[in-house]
Amino acid sequence: MFSQIVRVDAEQVVGANVKNPAATSLVGGWAIQFLLFAVSASAASLFRERDAGLFQRLLAAPVTRAHILWSKFLYGVTLGLVQLVVLFLASSLIYGTDVLPHLGLLALVSIFAAAACTSFGMLLAAVSSSPEAANGLATFLIMLMSAIGGAWFPVTFMPEFIQHFSKLTLVYWSMEGFSAVLWAGQSFVQILPILGILGGITALVMSIAVWGFNRGKIFG
């Protein structure tokens, strides 16, 4: 009887042509969360390499501390790019998300997101005293950033005051980049502000991490 009195129509305004909108909106969040755990574990391996005496052997050669840190950073970015692209391609095969037409821009956003995540992992290793402390801190911060950054559900579902904190996380801006490419179909010029913010986060966090490594005893 109610349906005869009132008719409710649902119309998709943004992303009307997106295939499988649910999977498209969620795949980026899970991908960035998995990546954060991966690169944080990779950065924490610096402690095991120190305990194995690897740094002493490297520093005896014409290798500086900066070389070791930046090689670790480049490895994390490469690992992150491969992991993100593989996950997005898997979502295309399994859930039918429209990835292939946007693969170039998606890879570009993935590079910047991987760089931000890697710098986060390096910072954790720089401020932690042991791999156990780094892993524990990583788990807490990653889950917190994923919860408020939009990895699990849209940020608009949360209270307004939480949404202000969301914009302080790299998860939020990574999700913005993925959504801009996969959901809104934006061009390279349109996603430049997001790439700039991710690049700024990477530069700031990596600078603090390098400062922490130089003052710490991980190379001692």
pLDDT averaged per 10 residues, the chain (length 220): 64 56 74 86 80 81 82 90 89 83 91 92 85 86 88 82 87 90 87 95 91 73
One-letter amino acid identity for 20?
A: N
Cβ–Cβ under 8 Å, residues 109 and 88: no
Domain ranges (residues) in the chain: 26-43+56-215
Cβ–Cβ under 8 Å, residues 185 and 24: no
Give the whole-angstrom CA distance, residue 56 versus residue 61.
9
Cβ–Cβ under 8 Å, residues 40 and 114: no
Q: What is the pLDDT of residue 38?
A: 86
Q: What is the pLDDT of residue 2?
A: 59
Cβ–Cβ under 8 Å, residues 35 and 84: yes
If phi > 0 it is left, if psi is from -120 to 50 it is alpha, else beta; for residue 53 that is left
Cβ–Cβ under 8 Å, residues 118 and 76: yes
Give the whole-angstrom CA distance, residue 77 versus residue 19.
29
Question: Where are the alpha helices (H) located in the chain, listed in sequence order?
Answer: 2-5, 21-51, 54-60, 65-95, 103-127, 131-149, 160-166, 170-182, 188-215
Give the whole-angstrom CA distance, residue 37 versus residue 137.
11
